[in-house]
């Protein structure tokens, strides 16, 4: 199945608003690796293969280990693998981009 439509073309103002939110998060003081952890967890929750693929690759570039990436989906059962701060981030994960990726039927092979 192919992408349903390109949001940036069909709803450019909504797309710009999401980018503005993303820009704000970049200035929030959340460490880059923690931002990727949030993105990975949101992608797992929403079942967005496109985003899981993209954000796990980005996390690896920032030094995240394969073990921790594999365990993010079951972080509550992972014991001491994640710090208390990381556990809070994973517990409070919110999302917006994944809802779009899933709704538009985006897949990793469409990079």
- Report all structural domains of the chain as residue ranges with CATH numbers, in order of start: 26-110 (1.20.1290.10)
Report the Cα 29 to chain-centroid distance in Å: 17
List alpha helices for 1-111, DSSP H. 7-10, 12-26, 32-46, 49-61, 66-71, 84-91, 97-103
pLDDT of residue 109: 74
Q: Exposed, middle or buried, 102 (CB in 10 Å: 0-12/13-18/19+)?
A: middle
Report the predicted TM-score, pTM, of the whole model to 2 decimal places: 0.75
pLDDT of residue 111: 46
Q: Which residues of the chain have pLDDT under 50?
A: 111
Total Cβ atoms within 10 A of residue 72: 22
pLDDT of residue 97: 66
pLDDT digits (tens, 9 = 90+) for 30-61: 999 999 999 999 999 888 898 999 999 999 99
pLDDT of residue 63: 98
């Amino acid at each position: 199945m192919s992408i349903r439509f390109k949001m940036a073309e069909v709803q450019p103002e909504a797309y710009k608003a999401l980018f503005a939110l993303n820009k704000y998060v970049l200035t929030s003081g959340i460490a880059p690796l923690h931002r990727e952890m949030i993105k990975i967890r949101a992608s797992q929750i929403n079942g967005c293969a496109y985003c899981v693929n993209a954000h796990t690759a980005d996390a690896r570039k920032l030094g995240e280990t394969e073990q921790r990436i594999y365990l993010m989906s079951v972080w509550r059962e992972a014991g001491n693998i994640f710090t208390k701060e990381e556990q809070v981030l994973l517990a409070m994960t919110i999302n917006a981009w994944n809802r779009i990726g899933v709704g538009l039927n985006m897949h990793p092979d469409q990079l």
